[in-house]
Structures are given as C-alpha cells and as structure tokens.
Chains A and B, each alone.
Chain A
C-alpha cells in the first residue's frame, strides 16, 4: 500500500534511471531536441494515424532505452479522472457547426460526431504525451538537461543573454522540487501526528484540497529558509552571478546523434502532415 504522504512519488523529476542503452548514450542535446520534436508531433498531429505513429515511436523508445512501462501506466491511471472530465467537457461544450452530425443527446446538450472524435483524440493525445514525458524523465537526468541547455544556449551569450543565471535557476529548481516534496511530506505527517485529518476516504478532490492548502504557506517559508542556507553554501563555494563559469560536461555530438535527431524530426513531420500525405 502506498502511503498518502508520499508526495515524492508524484513528482516526475528525479525519476531518471541510469542505463547504458543506445538511447542513453546519445548526446543530451540530441535527446532533448529529439524528444521536443516528437512532443511537437504528438501535440499537433491532426488524426489517429499520426498519433498511432507517435505511439509506436514512443514504444520503440521504451524498448531501446530498456525502461519500464509500469510507472507510465500508473501515471495515466492517476491522470485519468481529470482526462475523462476534460473529454466530457469536450463532448458537451465543443463548438458545433451546421454540417455536424448529431448522434445523441446528454442533459440537453447535443452530441455530435465531431465532438466525440475530438474527445477521443484528446484522450489518446494526452495518453501518448504522458507516456512520452515519463520516458523522457527516465532517460535524461536533470544534470544532462542543464548541460544540454548550457551548450544549446551558449550562442545567446553573444547578445548578453544571462545564460549562466538562467541555468542556475533551472538547476536549483530541479534540486528543490524533491526537497519541497520531502518537506511537504514531513509537515503533513507532523499535522497528522497531532490529530490533523489526513485519512483519504475515496475520491474527494475538495477534501484533498482542504488538506493540501494549509501546507502551502509553511512550505514557502521553509523553502525560503533553505534557499537562504543554499545561497550561503553556493557563495562559500565561489559562485558569483555574472562571472564566467565552465561546465563539468564536455558534450560530443556524433553522427549517430545527428542520425537520431534527423530520424525523430522526420517522424515528427510525418505525424504533423499525416493528412496531406494521405
């Protein structure tokens, strides 16, 4: 039984699984951009064929990267209630034009063929996206993301874009998310240990919100205190904003990375323009 206090489990960050797979060995820049390409493809593809191509592509990712599908299935199940509500809203409130074929009636709202199609598209699209994003966080570590961004954004330094500061913000955020989850867990437990009502009784979003809201202020205060200590720790290890820094990672972009990127971009284009190709 998983505990009701395990907030850490619900954050996607920090779920990286180190492996020596072909996917894991690709340059982080190539991985980041490849995921971005597929992501764009899934978001903008107009029909099921495109989504199907995307889904197969993601499954191939999983196989090649040797990562488990189970956490993603769990993620889908967790999101399902919200997705269903969204889909229902789409069916009921989706815009209608005269040529639409009305196929039924719920609570006085006309249900059209097109709105049902849109709702199904929405469900499938989000499902594929969840699987994709989970795959993403399992195959690229936060430090690889920052390293990739470091080199990808480096050209922007020419126009005085504060790349270092931005990356530090990204890095500290990534570091803080699991800490905040852990702190939330501690405060929730402290409340429960003193009689606070943390018993989960079925699906009750309002009760859930009532329990989580009082955590927010202490969490912010706690995080600020932590940030203060961390700022001191950073300063005492010589971090000065605005001073040139180097990176622990020297990235090497090989022809395999290029091929990988080219291939995923191709698939993405295929998804987006699937209608035209048909």
Chain B
C-alpha cells in the first residue's frame, strides 16, 4: 500500500486564539495509506475537525506539514489538484448545499472543473441514481429531509471523483435507518477503494475501521485497530468517550463465562456467539413476569386528533400532523420517537402553544391550548421547550442576558437568583460565565446556556427536541443525569428523539410517530419490544432489544421481558442461569 497522506508533527494555532489557551493541535503525526478507512474520535473540542480540515487545505499548519499524494497542502499551486483529490462532507447537511435545486448542487463541483455540459449531465445523473435521488432532482434542498440533504452533499462530492473523502460527523442529524443506510453506502465506497477519514461521536459506527485515532487535547492519545482501542486496555471514559454498546453487552455476558476472550465489536458477531437456550437447559428456569399494564390516572397533557399543515394554502404546503394523539401524566418522563420528518417537533410545538392545531384538541393542565383565545404566554409559564440545536437561536450578546430573557419577558422576581440557580443546575459557574460573550463559548457550553435559558423559567412541563444531537458521549451522559434530576423534582418531561438507546435509559413511556401520527404508545418496556412498530416508524430497536430478539430465536424464554437497556437485558439473563 502506498502512503497517500502524511501528516508530520502538525501544530495548529489560529491567530485569533486567546494567548492563555494551548494550541488546538499539538504535534500530530499520522500516515494514511491509500484505501484505508480511518476513524477519528475524541470529545467536543479535542481538535478532530481542525485536523481533517488540514487534509484538504482549508487550514494550514502553524508548524509541521501535511502531504497529500506528495503535494504540500500549503503551496497555492497545489490547491486545485488538492481540491480534486480530497472531498469533504460537513456535519450540518443544510450548510453545505450551494445551489437551489438538488441536481444543480451536485453539478456545482463539476462546473468548477469547467467540464463540458454533456459530461456534467452524465455524472450528475449517475450520482443521483446511485444515491436514489433521481426523483428529487429538481426539488429545492430546503424542502428535503436531513437524510436526503446529506445524500445530496455526498453525491456532490463523489461526482468529482475524489480519492479521499473527509466526513465530519455526517450522521449526527440522521435518524437510525437513514444512518444505517448512510453507513452501508460508506462501506461500499470503502470497498470500492476510496480512502475514508471519518470523524464521529458514535463508537459503534467505526468498529469496521482499519485504524482508529483517539484525539485528546490536540494530541493523538492512542492509535490502533478497533480491537486494540476497544479491547479494554484503554480507559475511554477518562477522555470523555465510551465503549461501543456491543462491547459493553459482551462484557456482561463474558462475566457469565459465555464468551471467549476475543473482543466483540460488531453486533452480529456477538449474536452469533451467544449460546442456544438448549445448551443451558440443565440450568434453572425462571417464571415469566409480564409487566403490569398501567392505566393512565391523570392525563396532565392530552393531545387529541391533532392535524397541522405548514404553509397551508401555498404551493409549498406540507402536512406535518394527521390526527396525532398523545398523553402524558404529571411527573412522568415520556419519549416521542420517530424518524426525521415524522412530526415529533411539530407535536412538541403544539404542547407549548407555539403552533395551534388546524383541528383537534390540546390540553395542558387547565389550558385549552388549541383555543386561540388562550394566550401563548400563559401556556409558556407552565411548559418549556428546548429546541433542536438551541444554540443556533441565541439572540443576546452575553450569557447572563440570554438566560434572563425569559424571566424578564414574564416579569418574574429575583431575576439574578433565578439565573444563578439555572446556571448551576446545568453546571455553569455563575460568576465565571454570566458576563462571557456567547460566541466565545465552546459548543458544549453553548448547549448548557441554551438549557439554562429554558430551565430558568422553572416550568412544570419540559419538552426537549433532539436534545443530544451533536453531543459527545460524556455530554450525553451529563444530560441524562440532568433529566433524572428534573424528574426527581417532579417535573413532567417529554423528550423527542430518534436515539433509542438514550430514550430507553430514561423514558417511562414511549410513543412512536410515523408520518404525522402516533402509531404505538405505552410503557416503554413494552413498546421497546415491539420491533415491528419500531421498524415501521423508521427506527431501530435498542441494541439490547435486538440481542434479546436473537436470544428468543435461540430458544430463550424471555419474551415480554424488559430488555430495553444493556443492564436490564443482563439482569433478565442472569436470573435465568
């Protein structure tokens, strides 16, 4: 294999950086061979994006050098050649689309090569067909789903026939099935010989990589095959990461003496290695306990047959809800799961009155939210909503002002005290942060400010829309902890998300949404086991449920048991052997 990319002792420090802060990259050396699949992981702010931007010359080293196919990225005469060798897919699908129709965006990179129109047309048609987007060719990108936009972005890069593609957290906005098909496409590209450099927060996406690079504080802390990295010798938690869930579940089973010592990284390998129940029949069997059906006593939140159409009456009208029903009890934690575009966000925005239904009823406590005479502000006092990517919606300059906006609008007293409490709740020190400018904060800190600016209103009901999108494992864990604390304070919590593993760890009730309606709903232990409904909603059951399904096929009598998290699965199995 030929070394395609050589990174030699790379240091990077932007000129605008505060002199007290260390360099962003501090001496990284790395050689990447042609056709390799390299995964780069590390917590937020560890320098992942900065590193890959050096490979296509968007950034230049402060010290050291980067060679791609022998070309020094710093030399201007290499630029055009470098751009055609290396393509890049960015994190936020929408921000990388340049043109106003799909086909034209795919063509953009080819127009830049000054190719004849006939060849551009041919390559665009080819890429659209490969991405399954031929029917969307003439549509404007802002009306596509996130998954489709990410496909457009990839098609636009592939059309230029690059040798290397850089991916910067490309799946962070995608729902499970879309994400899976994206990963399959990625594997295909890798098999076809493309060199892939892949940045992610999700360890399970990179178990097939040739090499994993762990970045920590601008240094390549570890480098090795996935087996070496996830083999247990490296403390990933210490540097803000986690093991792939398969490894954790395998670890549990190993303690039962089931598995050999080799690491299990891919779910299928683990499933294949699990024993049939037949082999263990001499062990004791346990009684099957079906979970008690719970009857709703007091539905604090009640959504009945709600219909809603965006831009109704215009050529762009889009039906978002088609008779959605939803209930939640006071003090409960409910989850709304569904693929992108299934109507989760629209449903949440009906519960706090931001949107009023075209038809149907919405009750929150004593408020009839669907009634236009109910002032939105009265509903807001009871119901808080944290939007998706809330840090994109800041409108003040200073942290303190941003958080104080809500209480000021609602004329609340003890303003300073409230802001202080809210900041402490999310783990931001009041004195240190209140006068910081918002744009100087890191991504993680911004997210905390956004949470605080809703929590400061101390509402009874809290709605969260895709709260963990783009977060690293440690931040996700902290957020789940915050949800628990809020639940213990007696708040009613509703979380909309497509990350089933996270929902499983916190939600008591689960509703599945598909195409604007709730297709299944109930206690989460039951709904998580309903694989058919989960599939229909465009989602995937949590890994532990997938494994328990395989165990059932192998004869294990664990039907109907709550196996929605790794720990629950393990305790169910442990009881039986």
Report the bound CA distance from A163 to B117 in whole Å: 18
Given known A1-B358, A175-B100, A238-B112, contact A190–B142 (CB-CB < 8 A): no
Q: In the complex, which of the residues A70, A218, A236, A248 contacts B56, with contact meaning CB atoms closer than 8 Å?
A: A236
Chain B residues, Cβ within 8 Å of A18: 138
Cβ-based interface call for A99 (8 A): no
Report the bound CA distance from A6 to B317 in whole Å: 11
**Residue among A68, A70, A178 with the highest chain B CB neighbour number at 10 A:** A178
- B88 close to A236 (CB less than 8 A): yes
Cβ-based interface call for B237 (8 A): no
Report the bound CA distance from A74 to B317 in whole Å: 14
Report the bound CA distance from A214 to B401 in whole Å: 14
Q: In the complex, which of the residues B58, B99, B314, B387 contacts A71, with contact meaning CB atoms closer than 8 Å?
A: B314
Residue of B nearest to A137 (CB): B315
A153 CB to nearest chain B CB (Å): 16
Report the bound CA distance from A174 to B454 in whole Å: 34
**Residue among A5, A192, A217 with the highest chain B CB neighbour number at 10 A:** A192
Looking at the complex, which of B79-87, B176-184, B548-556 is the stretch in contact with chain A? B79-87
- B410 close to A15 (CB less than 8 A): no
Cβ-based interface call for A195 (8 A): yes
Cβ-based interface call for A249 (8 A): yes
Report the bound CA distance from A230 to B98 in whole Å: 7
B96 CB to nearest chain A CB (Å): 4
Cβ-based interface call for A191 (8 A): yes
Report the bound CA distance from A221 to B396 in whole Å: 11
Chain B residues, Cβ within 8 Å of A178: 140, 142
Q: In the complex, which of the residues A70, A142, A193, A237 contacts B160, with contact meaning CB atoms closer than 8 Å?
A: A237
In the complex, per-residue mask of B341-378: 1 if CB is within 8 Å of any chain A CB, else 0: 00000000100101110100000000000001001110
Within 8 A of A (CB), among B63-98: 79-80, 83-84, 86-88, 90, 92, 94-98
Count class of interface residues, chain A: 35 or more
Cβ-based interface call for B534 (8 A): no
Chain B residues, Cβ within 8 Å of A230: 95-96, 98
Cβ-based interface call for A274 (8 A): no
Cβ-based interface call for B108 (8 A): yes
Residue of B nearest to A227 (CB): B95
Q: In the complex, which of the residues B53, B94, B385 contacts A193, with contact meaning CB atoms closer than 8 Å?
A: B385
Given known A14-B100, A190-B393, A238-B112, contact A233–B95 (CB-CB < 8 A): yes
- B356 close to A1 (CB less than 8 A): yes
Chain B residues, Cβ within 8 Å of A222: 392
- A237 close to B380 (CB less than 8 A): no
Residue of A nearest to B380 (CB): A195
Q: Which 6 residue pairs across A and B have the least CB separation, nearest first?
A: A195-B409, A194-B406, A233-B96, A248-B107, A237-B109, A190-B393
Given A190-B390, A222-B392; 8 other pairs, CB 8 A cutoff: A15-B316, A191-B395, A195-B381, A195-B457, A198-B376, A233-B96, A240-B112, A247-B111
Q: What are 8 A-B pairs with beta-carbon distances under 8 A?
A: A194-B380, A195-B380, A195-B410, A199-B376, A233-B90, A236-B87, A246-B115, A248-B110
